[in-house]
């Protein structure tokens, strides 16, 4: 589904020309398509059809309140990893009863807050964390519902920085230790086993690792059920990939088929934690060309979006397509598109063939809806970008561009 298309040579988000947004709001600015956000959710939801499932949108991918609010409005649950994300979901009127909490370093204070808020499930990532959750539960006079995040030791075959299901990864408990840990949990008064969880990595473009991991986890679920653990949920994590360049990730239907085939015997309710696949291709980052510059060996195009605004290329060598907001004719030359941040890694695109843009020309950095704004920082004391949500012919600012005074809020000189 693409909601960003050229109409008469001008790139649009749905029916709004991106140039008009840049004129009104300035750059850099993130622009999201509401039709894409809701459409991606509905397609995935439909792919799992009548099989009992709950989509818990992974907040870390894009935690902007307007985005969370849209998903909340469609009945989505949420996958959170911090007290801050819990607060965001609450602020966006998300359903706490459909919220799951993962992460290797939850503090007891965060656990207590989440328990009081009535979340569905804690995804516990170590034996010591389980003991901490037990203490929190006992203190509150309740049993905290939990699932163990197990590490199935499967190579997700994605970038090593976003691969999480290997033995060498910090995530989850070793698969072999899970049964014993559930047995220990049974004797605890502050927890109650409700599920089993795994997440093997992000930007998955193949079904084989998903199948391999889920086969192990479904087997574990059945074994635990047979031992009398009152489990209800099998949380399969997120990770479904998207097309940035020429990747061919499984379609939602193919993904659902793969998953359902493996888990069908368990009778479990599925929890899905998609992030990128819902928001990634629903957003772009608008940026303006400041300068062109010819070095002896290279042509540079300097734009006003830096690695502080979108860190993915610098951090993961990620590829994002760059589309001129006004279609250009002419011969492409190889350029490095760089940002203003004082770091050599502040490169948005390396050796990219582009028609050399004019000064002031606008570009849309494509597929920037996931892990764009949510990972933005103010490094180099650059205020973070504005965000705009488009709906048909209408658009509105859903986050104002930060101002200089936001940079030193809460500082004491």
Instruction: Tell me how far apart the alpha carbons of residues 79 and 95 are, in angstroms, rounded to a whole number.
Output: 11
Q: Name the one range near ligand LLP by CB under 6 A: 30-38, 173-181, 234-242, 250-258.
A: 234-242
Asked if 282 and 40 count as a contact pair (C-beta separation under 8 A), the reply is yes
Instruction: Build a one-symbol-per-residue string for 138-177: x at contacts with ligand LLP by CB under 6 A, - elsewhere.
Output: ------------------------x---------------
Check the annotation: does 273 bind a ligand.
Answer: yes
Is residue 363 a contact residue for ligand LLP (CB under 6 A)?
no
39 appears as a binding residue in the annotation: no
Any binding-site annotation on 255?
no
Shortest spacing between CB 311 and ligand LLP, in angstroms: 8
**Binding marks (x or -) toward ligand LLP, 93..112, rule CB under 6 A?**
---------x----------
- Which of these ranges, 7-15, 89-97, 179-187, 268-276, lies near ligand LLP under the rule CB under 6 A? 268-276
Which stretch, 85-93, 178-186, 232-240, 299-307, contacts ligand LLP (CB under 6 A)?
232-240
The reply to whether 274 sits in an annotated binding site is: yes
3-state secondary structure of 285: strand
Q: What are phi and psi of 56, to 5 degrees?
A: -110, 95
CA pair distance 207, 42, nearest whole angstrom? 21
Cα dihedral 343→345→350→356 (10° resolution):
-20
Dist. CA 206–CA 386, nearest whole Å: 35
Contact between 58 and ligand LLP per CB under 6 A: yes
Does 239 belong to an annotated binding site?
yes
Q: How would DSSP label each residue in 64-100?
A: -HHHHHHHHHTT-EEEE-SHHHHHHHHHTT--GGGEE
Reply yes or no: is the peptide bond before residue 28 cis, omega within 30 of 0.
Answer: yes
Q: Considering only residues 313-352, where is the footprint of ligand LLP by CB under 6 A?
A: 316
Q: What does the per-residue mask of binding to ligand LLP show for 186-225, with x meaning CB under 6 A?
A: -------------x--xx----------------------
CB 363 within 8 A of CB 325: yes
- Is 198 catalytic? The answer is no
| CA distance linking residue 136 with residue 131, whole number of Å | 9
Q: Catalytic residue positions?
A: 342
Binding site for ligand LLP (CB under 6 A): 58, 61, 79, 102, 162, 199, 202-203, 237-240, 273-277, 312, 316, 370-371
């Amino acid at each position: 589904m693409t909601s960003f298309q050229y109409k008469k040579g001008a790139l649009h988000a749905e029916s709004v020309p991106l140039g008009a947004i840049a004129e009104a709001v300035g750059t850099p600015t993130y622009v999201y398509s509401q039709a894409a956000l809701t459409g991606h959710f509905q397609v995935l939801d439909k792919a799992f059809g009548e099989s009992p499932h709950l989509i818990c949108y992974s907040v870390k991918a894009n935690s902007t309140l307007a985005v969370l609010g849209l998903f909340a409005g469609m009945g989505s649950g949420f996958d959170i990893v911090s007290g801050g994300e819990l607060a965001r979901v609450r602020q966006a009127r998300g359903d706490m009863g459909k919220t799951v909490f993962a992460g290797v370093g939850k503090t007891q204070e965060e656990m207590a807050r989440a328990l009081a808020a009535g979340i569905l499930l804690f995804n516990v990532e170590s034996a010591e964390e389980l003991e901490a959750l037990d203490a929190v539960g006992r203190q509150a006079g309740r049993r905290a519902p939990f699932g163990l995040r197990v590490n199935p030791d499967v190579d997700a075959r994605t970038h090593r920085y976003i691969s999480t299901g290997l033995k060498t990864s910090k995530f989850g408990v070793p698969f072999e230790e899970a049964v014993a840990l559930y047995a220990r949990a049974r004797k605890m008064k502050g927890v109650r086993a409700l599920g089993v969880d795994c997440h093997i990595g992000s930007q998955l473009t193949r079904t084989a690792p998903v199948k391999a991991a889920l086969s192990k986890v479904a087997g574990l679920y059945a074994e635990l059920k047979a031992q009398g653990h009152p489990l209800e949920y099998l949380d399969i994590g997120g990770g479904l990939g998207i097309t940035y360049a020429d990747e061919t990730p499984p379609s939602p239907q193919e993904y659902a088929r793969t998953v359902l085939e493996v888990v069908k015997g368990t009778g479990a309710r599925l929890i899905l934690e998609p992030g990128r696949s819902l928001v990634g291709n629903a957003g772009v980052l608008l940026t303006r060309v400041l300068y062109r510059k010819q070095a002896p060996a290279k042509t540079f195009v300097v734009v006003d979006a830096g690695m502080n605004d979108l860190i993915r290329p610098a951090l993961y060598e990620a590829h994002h397509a760059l589309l001129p907001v006004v279609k250009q004719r002419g011969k492409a030359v190889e350029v490095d598109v760089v940002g203003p941040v004082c770091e050599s890694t502040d490169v948005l695109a390396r050796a990219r063939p582009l028609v050399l843009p004019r000064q002031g020309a606008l570009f849309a950095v494509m597929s920037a809806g996931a892990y764009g704004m949510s990972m933005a920082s103010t490094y180099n004391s650059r205020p973070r970008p504005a965000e705009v949500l488009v709906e048909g012919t209408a658009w509105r600012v859903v986050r104002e561009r930060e101002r200089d005074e936001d940079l030193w809020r809460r500082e004491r000189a």
